A and B are shown apart, each in its own frame.
Chain A
Amino acid sequence: MRTNDVMLQTATKVVTFIILMFAVHIFFAGHYTPGGGFIGGLLTTTAIVLLMLAFDIPTVKKVLPINYVVLTAVGLLFAIATASASIIFDVPFFTHAYDYYDLPLFGETSLHSALLFDIGVYLVVVGVTMTIIQTIGEDE
Chain B
Amino acid sequence: MSNLLLFPIIIPLLFATVLMLFPKKVYLQRLLSVIAVVLTFISGLFLLAKVSADGVQAVTLGSWPAPFGISMVSDMFSVLLVLSSTLVTLFILFYSIPTIGIRRERSFYYPAVLFLMVGVNGAFTTGDIFNLFVFVEVLLMASYALIVHGGEKSQMRESIKYVLVNIISSALFVVAVAYLYSVTGTLNMADLAVKIPEIEAVGILTVIAILFLVVFGFKAAIFPLYFWLPGSYFAPPGAVLALFGALLTKVGIYAIMRTYTLFFTMNIGFTHEVLAIIAILTVLAGCVGALAYFDVKKIIIYNIIIAVGVVLFGISQMNVAGTEGAIFYLIHDMLIKAALFLLVGILTIIYGTSDLRKMGGLMKSYPVLGWVFLVTAFGLAGIPPLSGFPGKLLIVQGGFEGTHFWGSIIILATSLLVLLSVMRIFIYAFWGEPKKILPVDKARYYAMFVPTVILVALTIVLGVGAELFMPFIEDAGEVLLNPSLYYDAVLKE
Contact = CB atoms under 8 A, between A and B. Distances in A.
Interface of A: 69-70, 72-73, 76-77, 80, 84, 86-87, 90-96
B450 interface: no
Contact of B20 (A72, A84, A90, A95): A72
B60 A92 contact: yes
Contact of B14 (A80, A92, A93): A80
Nearest to B58: A92
Contacts of A70: 20-21
Contacts of A95: 61-63
A73 B20 contact: yes
B18 A96 contact: no
Given A92-B61, A93-B61, A94-B62, A73 B18 contact: yes
A61 B26 CA distance: 27
B1 interface: yes
Contacts of A91: 2, 63
B3 A93 contact: yes
Nearest to A88: B3
Question: Top 7 A-B pairs ranked by shortest CB distance?
Answer: A73-B20, A94-B61, A76-B17, A95-B63, A94-B62, A92-B59, A87-B3
A112 to B, nearest CB: 13
B279 interface: no
Nearest to B64: A92
Classify chain B's interface size.
Answer: 10 to 19
A54 B59 CA distance: 51
A87 B319 CA distance: 39
Nearest to B2: A92
B127 to A, nearest CB: 13
Nearest to A75: B17
A20 B186 CA distance: 39
Given A80-B10, A86-B3, A87-B3, A92 B17 contact: no
B365 to A, nearest CB: 45
Contacts of A86: 3
Contacts, number: 49
Nearest to B20: A73
A25 B1 CA distance: 39
Given A77-B14, A92-B62, 17 more contacts: A70-B20, A72-B20, A73-B20, A76-B13, A76-B20, A77-B17, A80-B13, A84-B10, A86-B3, A90-B1, A90-B3, A92-B2, A92-B60, A92-B61, A92-B69, A93-B72, A94-B62
B6 interface: yes
B40 to A, nearest CB: 15
Interface string B14-44: 1001101101000000000000000000000
Contacts of B59: 92-93
A39 B293 CA distance: 51
A93 B62 CA distance: 6
Contact of B6 (A73, A93, A96): A93
A96 B14 contact: no
Nearest to B6: A93
B17 A80 contact: yes
A86 B69 CA distance: 15
Nearest to B19: A73
A87 B61 CA distance: 11
B321 to A, nearest CB: 37
18 contacts: A73-B20, A73-B21, A76-B13, A76-B20, A77-B17, A80-B13, A80-B17, A84-B10, A84-B14, A90-B2, A91-B2, A92-B60, A93-B10, A93-B59, A93-B62, A94-B61, A94-B62, A95-B63
- A72, A76, A96: which has the most chain B beta carbons within 10 Å? A76
B19 to A, nearest CB: 8
- A80, A84, A92: which has the most chain B beta carbons within 10 Å? A92
Contacts of B21: 70, 73
Contacts of B6: 93
Interface in B337-391: none
Nearest to B16: A76
B479 to A, nearest CB: 21
Contact of A73 (B2, B17, B69): B17
Contacts of B63: 91-92, 95
A86 B62 CA distance: 9
Contacts of A80: 10, 13-14, 17
Interface in B110-148: none
Contacts of A93: 3, 6, 10, 59, 61-62, 72
Nearest to A80: B14
A70 B21 CA distance: 5
A91 B18 CA distance: 25
A85 B3 CA distance: 11
A93 B70 CA distance: 10
Contacts of B20: 69-70, 72-73, 76
Nearest to A67: B21
